[in-house]
Amino acid sequence: MNGTRVGDQVLAPGWTHYTERLRYQTFDVTGLLRTGGNAVGVLLADGWFRGRIGFEGGARNRYGDRLAALVQIEVRYTDGSTETFGSGDDWRAAHGPIVSSGIYEGERYDARRELPG
């Protein structure tokens, strides 16, 4: 958020049986918000959902073949009012510096492709 990493997790959220439930994570980002415009960035990878998993070479896309993120920020102002901001059609997407990643294969990272902010 605003160029600062939120949380210290890796390979998160953990494995789940995606056909039955989806895991999510929540964070208190109060200290990262600033007056005026704010920027949120999300890095997605194949992970447990569509990455190679299993024995003898494993299989890909076990649960699906498309990645997605749902982001919601709830703001409570000093006057007690609240406002909710969320991901939607007005969000932009781009390929970032992670060229490939996999639970077994590790990660290839190209720092020349880093996105500012």
- Indicate the domain borders of the chain: 1-117
pTM for the whole structure: 0.77
Confidence category of residue 117, pLDDT binned at 50, 70, 90: low
Token duo for residue 59: 């299989």
For 17-35, the pLDDT digits (tens) are: 888 998 889 999 999 999 9
Residue-averaged pLDDT of the chain: 89
Query: CA of 64: how far to CAs of 19, 47, 67, 76, in Å?
Result: 9, 11, 8, 36
Spell out a b/e string for 63-90, using b for 16 or more CB atoms within 10 Å of the CB, else e: eeeeeeeeeeeeeeeeeeeeeeeeeeee
8: helix, strand or coil: coil
Assign domain 1-117 one CATH number from 3.40.50.2300, 1.10.287.610, 2.60.120.260, 3.40.50.150: 2.60.120.260
Answer yes or no: are the C-beta atoms of 24 and 13 closer than 8 Å.
yes
Task: Compute the distance between CA of residue 21 and CA of residue 9 in angstroms, rounded to an integer.
Answer: 20
* pLDDT > 70? residue 48: yes
For 54-89, the pLDDT digits (tens) are: 888 889 998 999 988 899 999 999 999 999 999 999
